[in-house]
Structure 1
């Protein structure tokens, strides 16, 4: 498939719409503007993946990047610690992303 030229926000919207169609529950922690700049009110280590997806006992924590975006050191550390639950998804990986989100429940 030809790479999709999407911003991270556009790609995230596509992922969330596809996840919803296929019955995934999801959470996204959005930053908010404060007097001190943009902040995401979450306690713990920085670099938590963008999305939490859950369906049929399967949990995925996905970091979304554009095709040229680079994960931070903190984001890579999270993905390493998450093992099989962590994902780094890009628009160019759409076929793989779609296949994973649309995979039927395993018995």
Structure 2
């Protein structure tokens, strides 16, 4: 009879003490149905000391606008799990959802003028 033992060569589990499905409480899909892989998120200025290391890594990676797919790629996480983890962070107020363009609008009066000009065409 032989026993299978872990020899430390499995890179996907290296350094991870908690299985990912435990981190998301067994959820398989985000509660927010509008959250997809192209959704842009950004970290909000909140204290992250209470978060698990995997969640903290996501928040730190999102110091600038980043899509859910990019987060999964950078952190080497499965995309389905990444979506659920991002959804949890959004629900708890650690991440904001939107687009980078929302931050760059400086003069709404100028945009209204451009729109009025286009409508006259």
- Please give the TM-score of this superposition, normalised by the length of structure 2: 0.23
The structure with the greater share of residues assigned to helix is 2
Q: Which has the larger radius of gyration?
A: 2
Greater fraction strand: 1
Give the structure-1-normalised TM-score.
0.25
